[in-house]
Amino acid sequence: MSKNQLDQSGEVQDVERLGTNPGDPLPMLDGHVSHGRFERVLRAGHFAVTTEIAPPDSADPDEVLVRAALFDGHVDAINATDGSGAHCHMSSLAVCAILTRVGYSPILQISCRDRNRISIQGDTLGAAALGVCNVLTLSGDDVGAGDHPEAKPVFDLDSVSLTKTLRILRDESRFLSGRKLDLPPKLFIGSSINPFVPPIKNRVDQLAKKINAGAEYIQSQYCFDVPMLKDFMARAVDMGLTEKCYILIGVGVLPSARTASWMRDNVPGVHIPDSVIARLKGAEKPLREGRNICVELMQEIKEIEGVSGLHVMAYRQEKWVGDVVKRSGVLEGRVPWSPDHSDTTIGTVS
């Protein structure tokens, strides 16, 4: 697909160069629901790449920007995780606000675990007011998995009802109570799916529920099993789901066989075949082999019908995201927009 697209007047516009003044919202395009760059990339037909940033255990905004700068020129959007693993960090809303003000395209993760519908609706309006254009709905990990097991989970909503709630805020300009909004949030709304928990048919049905609830893009759990993914995607294509929603498949860098085994045994929903673990165990340099595996998966997944992009997860391996994206060639020479750090020391990597 071409890097350029035609606007209503027929003028050619470069998708990646629009909105180069950091923090300024992009002009709204016909048929779009947000001012964001991430939505533009997908609707223009590009194969998209996203990643995620682990919020710091700190009140220092520079820590966020230094981490984000590792992804410059390699990704189209950056997820800000929301208490991932039920561990407390800087809030996803704050991370998104910091990223937005310098021009990044963050994705606000919203977990149902920690907030009720009143708080979630208020945070959503606040995020939109701060310029955040993308949200991702999640149920949230069980508090027993984190370092605050005594915390009380909320789960007033689940990921499907939360997605419906965000669509009501945006499309009907009202709260769940019925009270009208003065200005609705302009948000590109997504959710998540795990295709690797059998039976596969149930997972495709769950995907359909989330799309019918209003999800416009989906990010999946880690994929290390391409045949299983192909089965899932074939069913999704047959049901017409990929015509209604952009699907980005999760991939990741495994640093060692030990880490892979631990993830398989302890992280809910992570499926890693024995063959992958054996390959890492037999490698002379496991970390390098883990990157090679990731690159090969990215290349295979890109060719699967219905896949619109990749979500690259690399917890504590963020410095390798650019390497695997570049080596995989999935962007086909396209360079995602990134801020100019030449006039500031904030967000630069020494």
The confidence band for 86, taking pLDDT boundaries of 50, 70 and 90, is: low
Average pLDDT over residues 204-214: 97
pLDDT at residue 139 in the model: 85
Average pLDDT of the chain to the nearest whole number = 89
pLDDT at residue 244 in the model: 97
Select from 226, 283, 291 the least CA-distant residue to 252: 291
Q: Would the pLDDT of 345 be above 60?
A: no
Q: How far apart are CA 167 and CA 163, in angstroms?
A: 6
Question: Is residue 260 helix, strand or coil?
Answer: helix
Q: Where are the alpha helices (DSSP H) in 105-185?
A: 117-129, 159-171
The alpha carbon of 110 is separated from its chain's Cα centroid by a whole number of angstroms, namely: 11
The DSSP element (H or E) to which 235 belongs, if any, is helix 226-238
Average pLDDT over residues 39-66: 95
In terms of phi and psi (left: phi > 0; alpha: psi -120 to 50; beta: otherwise), the region of 73 is: left
Half-sphere CA count of 238, side-chain side, radius 13 A: 9
* Domains of the chain, each with CATH number or no CATH: 47-328 (3.20.20.220)
pLDDT tens digits, one per residue of 262-296: 989 887 778 999 999 999 999 999 999 999 999 99
Contact between 146 and 87 (Cβ < 8 Å): yes
Contact between 330 and 299 (Cβ < 8 Å): yes
Q: How far apart are CA 324 and CA 329, in angstroms?
A: 9
More confident residue, 196 or 240: 240
More confident residue, 158 or 14: 158
Contact between 182 and 210 (Cβ < 8 Å): no
pLDDT at residue 7 in the model: 40
Q: Would the pLDDT of 4 be above 50?
A: no
Contact between 57 and 89 (Cβ < 8 Å): yes
Q: Could you count the other beta carbons within 10 Å of the beta carbon of residue 70? A: 18
Q: Would the pLDDT of 78 be above 90?
A: yes
More confident residue, 6 or 89: 89
Average pLDDT over residues 214-242: 97
Contact between 15 and 4 (Cβ < 8 Å): yes
Q: Would the pLDDT of 15 be above 60?
A: no
Q: Which two three-digit tokens encode residue 222?
A: 């880690």
